[in-house]
Amino acid sequence: MPSLDDHKYRDYTETTSQQVREFYRANHRFQTVEFGEAQRDKYLNHTYAKMGIWEALELLNTVIDESDPDTEFSQIQHCLQTSEAIRAKGHPRWFILVGLIHDLGKILCLRDEPQWAVTGDTFPVGCPYSDKIVFSEFFAANPDLNNSNYQSEFGIYHAGIGLDHVMMSWGHDEYCYQVVKNYLPAPALAIIRYHSFYPWHQDNAYSELMNDHDRKMLPSVQAFQPFDLYTKHDLPPNVEQLRPFYEELIAEFFPAQIDW
Ligand code: FE
Ligand code: FE
């Protein structure tokens, strides 16, 4: 197993693969306010399936994330590696469950959504794009850049508005949050909703938009990151052996089926 020192995670420089670059070129061009509204209308006002959490995990397992330079494992292995690392540190059960389900929104890839509309880092739309966003130069092709309402200091928002009132670029974080929001405690929901918002939780961008609730949630979102990143080179977990523990954990928080 390689140690943390001999592998650089989230390397988005000249060495980044062409596939990851092209992913962000499309993502930054097409993630607009209008697109975000259309996706919310499409997915949040309709129920496409009734499924249990484990069933969704098995479905997720057929997805490969093209935006991720770091993992060759299947999605269910990534979920279990993350949750097992959290469990090994003795964290509360809701936190372990977040590790397991944080990427479930990637099942959107199976509904014929392009990868740029599902995975990758997220950022607010409707206000100026921070240069802390990975490959921010690709925003030059985004039509919202020409809308003066969006490009004033806080765009369509105001200082202290709170992230829950900010439209994030559409992807698996927001979709999963919307699906599970009635079942989990607030820090769990913040982790799910903002775990790909690296410009914020890693680089402090958009901090003027935060309210007191966001300030309370930020440490949980930051505490989650290493488990999501640094478990990607561990040995693959034994899915069938772990399944009974997780079925029980899921049943503690979720009904047998939820709306997707
Ligand atoms: Fe994710
Ligand atoms: Fe993840």
Mean pLDDT of the chain: 93
The structure tokens listed for 145 are 């850049």
Q: What is the pLDDT at residue 118?
A: 96
| Domain span at 58 | 25-259
For residue 70, which ligand has an atom nearest its CA?
A: 2
- Alpha-helix runs per DSSP H in 89-171: 93-101, 148-151
Distance 221 CA to ligand 2 centre (A): 12
Ligand nearest to the CA of 119: 1
For residue 2, pLDDT over 80 is answered with no
Using pLDDT thresholds of 50, 70 and 90, give the confidence band for residue 233.
low
Residue bearing the bigger pLDDT, 236 or 192:
192
Residue 60 included in any domain = yes
Flag whether pLDDT at 68 surpasses 80: no
SS (H, E, C) 230-254: CCCCCCCCCHHHHHHHHHHHHHHHC
Question: What H or E segment, with its residue span, contains residue 258?
Answer: strand 258-259
Q: How far is CA 112 from CA 18, 70, 108, 118, 155, in A?
A: 22, 24, 7, 10, 31
The ligand that comes nearest to the alpha carbon of residue 106 is 1
Q: Judge whether 1 lies within some domain.
A: no
Centre of ligand 1 to C-alpha 179, Å, is 15
Instruction: Please check whether residue 106 is in contact with residue 60, taking contact to mean a CB–CB distance below 8 angstroms.
Output: yes
Residue 148, domain member (yes or no): yes
| Per-residue pLDDT band at 7 (split at 50, 70, 90) | low
Place 67 in a pLDDT band, splitting at 50, 70 and 90: confident
User: Around ion ligand 1, which residues have CB less than 5 A away?
Assistant: 103
Q: Does 165 map to a domain? A: yes
pLDDT of residue 63 exceeding 50: yes
Q: Is 247 within the bounds of a domain?
A: yes
10, part of any domain: no
pLDDT at residue number 51: 97
- pLDDT for the residue 12: 76
Q: How far is CA 157 from CA 152, 154, 162, 173, in A?
A: 10, 5, 9, 21
Cα of 55 vs centre of ligand 1, distance in Å, is 18
Q: What is this structure's pTM?
A: 0.93
Least confident of 58-62, 69-73, 179-183, 226-230: 69-73
CA 144 – ligand 1 centroid, Å? 25
Short-list 102, 70, 67, 69, CA closest to 83: 102
Number of folded domains that form the chain? 1
Q: Report CA(55)–ligand 2 centroid distance (Å).
A: 18
CA–centroid distance, residue 57 to ligand 2 (Å) = 13
Residue 7 lies in a domain: no
pLDDT greater than 70 at residue 4:
no
Distance between Cα 119 and ligand 1 center (Å)? 7
| Percent of the chain at pLDDT exceeding 90 | 83
Give the 3-state secondary structure of residue 168: strand
Note the pLDDT tens digit of each residue in 171-208. Answer: 999 999 999 999 999 999 999 999 999 999 999 999 99
Q: Would you call 131 exposed, middle or buried from its count of C-beta atoms within 10 A (0-12, 13-18, 19+)?
A: exposed
Q: What is the mean pLDDT of residues 210-235?
A: 91
Say whether pLDDT at 97 is over 70. Answer: yes
CA of 245 to the centre of ligand 2 (A): 20
Centre of ligand 1 from the C-alpha of residue 172, in Å: 7
The candidate with the shortest Cα–Cα distance to 193, out of 258, 135, 122, 111, is: 122
Which residues have beta carbons under 5 A from ligand 2 (an ion)? 103, 228
Report which bound ligand comes closest to the CA of 174: 1
User: Is pLDDT of 170 > 70?
Assistant: yes
At residue 1, the pLDDT reads 33
Asked whether residue 3 carries a pLDDT value surpassing 50, the answer given is no
pLDDT in tens, 17-53: 888 999 999 999 999 999 999 999 999 999 999 999 9
* Nearest listed ligand to the Cα of residue 192: 1
Residue 237 has pLDDT above 70, yes or no: yes
Residue 232 belongs to some domain of the structure: yes
pLDDT of residue 13: 72
